[in-house]
Amino acid sequence: MAETFKAILIDRDEDKKQSLSHADLTTDDLMDGDTIVRVTHSTVNYKDALAVTGKGPVIRRWPMIPGIDLAGEVVSCDTGVFKPGDKVILNGFGLGETHYGAYAGMARVKADWLIRQPETLSAAEAMSVGTAGYTAMLCVIALERHQITPDRGPVVVTGATGGVGSVATAILGKLGYHVIASTGRSEEADYLKSLGASEIIDRKELSEPGKPLGKERWAGGVDAVGSVTLANVLAQTKYGGAVACCGLAGGMDLPASVAPFILRGVSLLGIDSVMAPKSIRELAWQRIASDLDRSKLASITHEIAFSDIEQATSDLLAGKVRGRLVINIAS
């Protein structure tokens, strides 16, 4: 008899009303792929929260198992790239959007989507990093490639208490940057300073419409908010600076002018974590293993059970979550 495992299934009716159920599945129920992975851990990202609550058009195939991140052990691999027992990580590639995702005990995926879990990271730590932290590292790498080094001046991080912001703050702080953390939660100032922030500013400084060009305040930025916030970050970036853009928590629009680009030579660096080539993924995870303080990672992480996923996604969208949530799939 085939082994059964638990899974969250999201479906919708003819009126496009979304529903969520818990199901017992077997590998026969999974989608096509050449590699089966036993999922041990996952996480809750902003995109996961939108998918589970139905508050954003994340899912593009119905029904769907949500969850865009997984860590686990290979059960079988038809390509021979991996062997049973290999520890692997998967971020993106449509997982939880167009391909059955991580909120299940098993996943069948393509070997090309997987990377080996760094030996110095546990599965729980890898999911504490997750897509949010992996994206944060992609932002840091992009800034470095644009020669935004600590001696160039401060770097601003928006949405600093969120998943991307927390990890970005910790990484940049460890690398010696003067981090200006922007948050709407003033009570989290000590938390952000413990991660590596040198200054805390209220997000209201950036969330209200501003001038096309403002006072030059920072050499670079990591922005997960978008919209007016990103426009203001760009307007206050120093000559020759750069901003890595990776999120849209504040909206998909960008009400900015070309002034920062043509008068100050500012660069806007777009960061995509979903379809990033394997080489940059592997580099990002290698850098995470070496450049992210493990004690700080632990301080921003909370482990939850499989049964807690629905409540956690609602809490995240309500701004009640700081840092990272790790799901122990077996719990």
Q: Which domains does the chain have, with CATH numbers?
A: 5-117+300-328 (3.90.180.10), 131-270 (3.40.50.720)
pLDDT at 50 over 70: yes
pLDDT band at 2 (very low <50, low <70, confident <90, very high): confident
Can you say whether residue 61 is alpha, beta or left, with left for phi > 0 and alpha for psi between -120 and 50 degrees? beta
pLDDT digits (tens, 9 = 90+) for 3-20: 899 999 999 999 999 999
The band of 1, judged by pLDDT with boundaries at 50, 70 and 90, is low
> How far is C-alpha 187 from the geometric centre of its chain's CA atoms?
23
**Cβ 84 vs Cβ 38: under 8 Å:** no
Q: What is the pLDDT of residues 134-191, one digit of tens each?
A: 999 999 999 999 999 999 999 999 999 988 999 999 999 999 999 999 999 999 999 9
What whole-number distance in Å separates Cα of residue 271 and Cα of residue 136? Answer: 9
Full-model pTM? 0.92
